Structure 1
Amino acid sequence: MLEHGHNHYLVIASLAVALMSAFTGLSLTKGASRMPVARRKVIVSMSAFALGGGIWSMHFVAMLGMTLPVSFHYDALVTLLSALVAILLTGLALLFVHFGERTPWRISLAGLCAGVGILAMHYIGMSGIQDVEPVYATLGLAQAIVAALVLCVVSFWICYSKRGSRNIVIGTIVFGGTVFAVHFIAMAGTHFIEIEGAASSGLWLSNEMLAFGVTFSAFVISGAFLLVGVTFAGDVEAPAKPADAPAPVSTERPPVAPEPDAPALVRLPYEKNGQTHFVSHEEVAAVRAEGRYTFLYHPTGRLFCPWSITLVEERLAQVNFLRCHRSYLVNVDHVASFERRKDNGVCFFDGSAHLDKAPVSRSYLKQVRARFGI
């Protein structure tokens, strides 16, 4: 067995990389579920690269700090594969929470996928070491698996039970700490054996070449962290005036404050007999998505709308429409009553638009009740 240790400065650097990549990936998707599908796909892909690339970078920053009494290098193909696996599995985790209804089951499944991604990346990356062979203790392997799966589920629950800034920051600390902890828990249960006369095949990376790639990756993650951090913090407020500062004297007549503008009228399109017609949003009681199609409930009947429900929600954001289900938008002015049913509910309409009721799912129940003041 070969004794191995770690450079403490690179251990600290690996923790910093894990935290920066976790913050970048988890905060970049804030509000993504309300974006159009095409833009959401781009944001989720970028977040997957940030999280998966951060897991990979953290691992190899720490590995660059690992010291062994013999020289060793890495298989280039296996090293690249470990990065791709991390990106794919964290991307799959983000798909679960940003596409479809965000249920407790989907949040937990997303956390499990991310945990498997951390584990797969670590052990695939370790298998790429040449000239020495890693040997894993059963206890260390079990501890790494439990830590990765449990802590990742916890971090996703913190981040996605409520998408507030505080949740994202706490979830970042838990997820970044998970990546860091799993690596060193696994390394504590790992020993190395020198392989005498081993002949390397294919492309291989020395520590120097790997350091160049990891440095570039860490540089990109740091830049993304700074860019995301600026927008996450929001605009800096102007400094407040001292309490004892005299108010400026003005001889000009103060302007009359304009009355607030009324909500703009939104004209919703519908297709009939090969023509596109328009109706006012005020006449529409509800909007429903059925598969790839969208329908408007209007006094004249159920009308086929060429817009997606996501686009309709964007256009109606400033008027009295409320999302109550992943497939329903309701016009608050047409809702006659509301009924609470355990962890969901139902909105009942006034009967003016060929629709009796619309379901309220658990994920939207709180905001529906708040809008109705109940």
Structure 2
Amino acid sequence: MAASLAVALMAGFTGLSLLRGASSVPTLQRKLLVSMAAICLGGGIWSMHFVAMLGMRLPIAFYYDALVTLISALVAILIVGLALLILHFGERSRARIVLAGGIVGAGIPAMHYIGMSGMQICQPVYASWGIVLSLVTSIALSVGAVSLAYSRRGPRNILLGTVGFGLAVFAVHFAAMWGTGFVALDVTETYMTWMTNEVLAFGVTLTVFVISGAFLLTGVGFARPVEPPMAGEEETAPPVAPLTDSPPSEDPDPVIADGLHVRVPYEKNGRTHFLDPTEIAAVRAEGHYTMLYVGDEKLFCPWSITETGNRLPQEVFLRTHRSYLVNRRFVTGFERRKDSGVCFFDGTASLPKVPVSRSRLSEVREILGI
């Protein structure tokens, strides 16, 4: 039981940590991160269940159907993957967070009961109240875990989400087992598709080893700040100076003071080119580099978002989000969305809109004159 809880916690931490900052990376890379996290979280649900089952003792021998056991693992991974797709593709909202948590909450007992149906020689018998209890417990704890992990994407929230996920998987298993009885079957044949506990233990041990290794790898850099963060994460970077009529300081930064004359580098076809800042509609952080949005093109820039913000003229470029800088002259529309907002760019096909984070909302509205 103790080992099963540890597996659930490690899987939860690994999956949630992998996705930290995923909403700000390119689509292909984000799909890869979501797939890896789904394998970790779904594999963690499966591993927790069968680690706990290895600790169960019955007065008769029992085995598992290999195909059903495999299906139970795949179902867990696919259901968790669906929830992560909802969270990381599309504008994240409270409704999406609750929906994703509900999907995970339904997937945990689904994996449990599919896995239990693979038992041979000994047939599980379920009490209806046990099924209801496990389902309600799973949905409530899963929604809570996802809400904790995705309300803000800082280390504290990931740790709280990890605890919530681990407790959800752990509690659902034992709530379901509380309402489960077993009946011995009169079986005279032994089929080749059956797995003994020894074979299952080998597979579970291998899976747990992979999860533990991934847990160690993600834990190494967990405390290091991630740039850029996921949409909605509270910003801690210094705000961009608002547009004012106050005179410059006695010893201004020459790069910023003469920002309109800075030429912005970008790389294309193996060559470095340069742009005038007035041609750039917006800048988006991409890891330690940035993407420049110019008309219908997205151009790779070797500067980080911090360096770009320092070099570009601050009287023209606004910091709408920790991951975005926008050229106010290209903004053609603004929409308020609860405690955040969106800037629109009708003439920039490569970037039709840019998010405005909660902490930047009042400043952006003031500079735009709304």
Superposition deviation, residue 333 in structure 1: 7.2
1:46 counterpart (31, 36, 42): 36
Q: Does 1:81 align with 2:71?
A: yes
Give structure 2 stretches of 5+ with no counterpart. 226-252, 285-290, 310-316
Of 131, 144, 164 in structure 1, the residue corresponding to residue 134 of structure 2 is 144
With the length of structure 2 as denominator, give the TM-score of the two structures: 0.73
> Residues 269, 20 of structure 1: CA spacing in aligned structure 2 closer, same or farther, 3 A cutoff?
closer
**Aligned AA for 1:85?**
V
Q: CA deviation at 1:233?
A: 2.6
Residue of structure 1 in register with 2:278 after alignment: 282
Kept in 1, the 8 Å contact 2:40–2:211? The answer is yes
Q: Aligned pair in 2 of structure 1 residues 295, 12: CA closer, same or farther (>3 Å)?
A: closer
State whether structure 2 residue 333 is matched by structure 1 residue 304.
no
Q: Does 1:91 align with 2:87?
A: no
3-state SS of 2:132 partner: helix
Classify 1:339/1:21 alpha carbon distance in 2 versus 1 (closer, same or farther; 3 Å).
closer
Q: How many residues align?
A: 315
Shift of 1:286: 5.2
Task: Write the distance in 1 (CA, Å) between the matches of 2:255 and 2:292.
Answer: 29
CA contact (8 A) 1:93 1:114 kept: yes
Q: Deviations over 1:130-160 (max 9, x none)?
A: 0011011011110000011111111111111
Over residues 30-83 of structure 1, what are the superposed CA-to-partner deviations in whole Å (9 max), with x where a residue is unaligned?
001101111111111111111011111100000000000000010011111111
Preserved contact between residue 322 and residue 331 of structure 1 (Cα < 8 Å): no
Q: Residue 76 of structure 1 aligns to which amino acid in structure 2?
A: A
Q: Distance in 2 between matches of 1:348 and 1:266?
A: 23
Distance 2:303 2:100 in 1: 27
Decide which of 353, 362, 368 is 2:360's aligned counterpart: 368
What letter matches 2:53 in structure 1?
Answer: M
Question: Given the superposition, is the C-alpha separation of residues 159 and 286 from structure 1 closer, same or farther in structure 2, using an over 3 Å criterion?
Answer: same
Deviation at 1:90, TM superposition (A): 0.8
Check the 8 A contact 1:266/1:315 in 2, yes or no.
Answer: no
**Contact 2:340–2:361 (CA under 8 A) maintained in structure 1:** no
TM-score (normalizing by structure 1): 0.73
Structure 1 residues 171 and 37: alpha-carbon distance in aligned structure 2, compared to 1, 3 A threshold:
same
1:167-246 aligned within 5 A: 167-197=157-187, 199-234=189-224
Question: Closer, same or farther in 2 for the Cα pair 1:341/1:35, shift >3 Å?
Answer: closer
Report the Cα offset of residue 314 of structure 1: 8.8
What is the SS of the residue equivalent to 2:222?
helix
Aligned to 2:238: none
State the superposition RMSD in angstroms: 3.8
Aligned equivalent of 2:115, options 104, 125, 133? 125
Q: 1:347 to 1:42 in 2, by over 3 A?
A: closer
Indicate yes or no: 2:149 matched with 1:159.
yes
Match of 1:14 in 2: 4
